[in-house]
Structure 1
């Protein structure tokens, strides 16, 4: 895993911890949805078949 991706997940983890501590449910939901969208985007990019000419 690249350092950029690892750093992104560390930032997401920190933001999630803060939201849980401060009981900010809407913000926590937004963070989790964003993380899920990012993960699915990464997986989708890895699953793209190569173009055959």
Structure 2
């Protein structure tokens, strides 16, 4: 991992910790849901249009 990416992750960890300390679970949930939605959109774009089973 690059130092820049590691620094980014450290900043994310600090932000999440601050939300927990401030009892802002609802805001944290909103952030996590948005991240999951974005991840699923990326996966759908990367998936072939038709899959074989």
Task: Please give the TM-score of this superposition, normalised by the length of structure 2.
Answer: 0.56
- Contiguous gaps of at least 5 residues in structure 1: 1-5
Higher relative contact order (CA 8 A, sep 6+): 1
Gaps of 5+ in 2: none
Q: Highest CA radius of gyration, 1 or 2?
A: 2
**TM-score normalised according to structure 1 size:** 0.56
Alignment RMSD, CA only? 2.6
The aligned length equals 43
